[in-house]
Amino acid sequence: MATRLPSGYDNQREALATYFDSTARQAWIDLTSDTKVSGIRATVRAGRDDMRATLLSWLPVDLRRTKVLDAGCGTGALAVAAACRGADVTGIDVAAGLVEVARERAPSFLGHGRIHWRAGDMLDPDLGTFAHVVAMDSLIHYQPEDLVAALSELAQRTTRSILFTFAPRTRLLATMHQVGKVFPKSDRSPAIVPTAEGDLRQRLASLPGWTIGRTQRISSGFYTSQALELVRHG
Ligand SMILES: C[S@@+](CC[C@H](N)C(=O)[O-])C[C@H]1O[C@@H](n2cnc3c(N)ncnc32)[C@H](O)[C@@H]1O
CATH number of the domain within which 160 lies: 3.40.50.150
Q: How far is the CA of 175 from the centre of ligand 1 (A)?
A: 24
Atom of ligand 1 nearest to the CA of 17: 25
Atom of ligand 1 nearest to the CA of 12: 16
Q: With a 6 A CB cut-off, is 146 part of the ligand 1 pocket?
A: no
Is residue 1 situated within a structural domain? Answer: no
Is residue 2 situated within a structural domain? Answer: no
**Tally of domains within the chain:** 1
Q: How far is the CA of 190 from the centre of ligand 1 (A)?
A: 12
Give the predicted TM-score (pTM) of the model. Answer: 0.94
Closest residue by Cα to atom 7, ligand 1, is 74
Is residue 202 situated within a structural domain? Answer: yes
Q: With a 6 A CB cut-off, is 81 part of the ligand 1 pocket?
A: no
Full domain range(s) for residue 174:
7-232
Is residue 206 situated within a structural domain? Answer: yes
Is residue 65 situated within a structural domain? Answer: yes
Which pLDDT does position 229 carry in this prediction?
98
Which pLDDT does position 174 carry in this prediction?
65
Is residue 183 situated within a structural domain? Answer: yes
Q: How far is the CA of 38 from the centre of ligand 1 (A)?
A: 22
Which pLDDT does position 150 carry in this prediction?
97
Is residue 167 situated within a structural domain? Answer: yes
Which pLDDT does position 190 carry in this prediction?
83
Q: pLDDT tens, position by position, for the chain (234 residues)? A: 445 576 789 999 999 999 999 999 999 999 999 999 999 999 999 999 999 999 999 999 999 999 999 999 999 999 999 999 999 999 999 999 999 999 999 999 999 999 999 999 999 999 999 999 999 999 999 999 999 999 999 999 999 999 999 999 977 666 665 655 544 455 457 889 999 999 999 999 989 999 999 999 999 999 999 999 999 997
DSSP output for 48-99 = HHHHHHHHHHTS-S--TT-EEEEET-TT-HHHHHHHHTT-EEEEEES-HHHH
Q: How far is the CA of 203 from the centre of ligand 1 (A)?
A: 22
Closest residue by Cα to atom 16, ligand 1, is 13
Which pLDDT does position 221 carry in this prediction?
94
Cα(28)–Cα(40) distance, rounded to whole angstroms?
Answer: 14
Q: How far is the CA of 8 from the centre of ligand 1 (A)?
A: 16
Cα(144)–Cα(116) distance, rounded to whole angstroms?
Answer: 29
Q: How far is the CA of 64 from the centre of ligand 1 (A)?
A: 25
Which pLDDT does position 181 carry in this prediction?
57
Q: Is 118 helix (H, G, I), strand (E, B) or coil?
A: strand
Q: With a 6 A CB cut-off, is 16 part of the ligand 1 pocket?
A: yes
